[in-house]
Structure 1
Amino acid sequence: MRSPRNGMVATWPITRSTNSGATSMTDWRLQFTLPENASISNACCAQLAQSGTQYTLDAREL
């Protein structure tokens, strides 16, 4: 992670763990809630949707 002026940039790998090991995933959806004073302005490699404090990052809609 790095913190640019007035914000933050973060990267998280999304992997699938199985008995045979971990593999990268290209078909995923992540839903989460942020505090009211936090926001996401853009996302790379995923479609970003927001409803109030609820966010969805979706690679399936790329």
Structure 2
Amino acid sequence: MTSTQDSAAAIAALAQELLAQRFKTYGPLLIGFFLSTILFGVTLLQTYQYYDTYGSEDRRHLVIMVGF
């Protein structure tokens, strides 16, 4: 083998290793996405329940603050 072939093989091996390491990070990313989606849904549910229960009784500035 020549040095060009050796360096090409080394680059290919390095690329393969980097690609394998990249796929290891998708699990925690997916778990974080699901947890944040669940928490966002809980927040939306609580906001809806507040407006449904107290939306017409509370003062206007408090109702607006809950919306933001």
Determine which structure has the larger helix proportion and give its number: 2
Determine which structure has the larger strand proportion and give its number: 1
- Structure with the bigger RCO (C-alpha within 8 Å, sep 6+) is 1
- The TM-score, its normalising length taken from structure 1, stands at 0.20
- The TM-score, its normalising length taken from structure 2, stands at 0.19
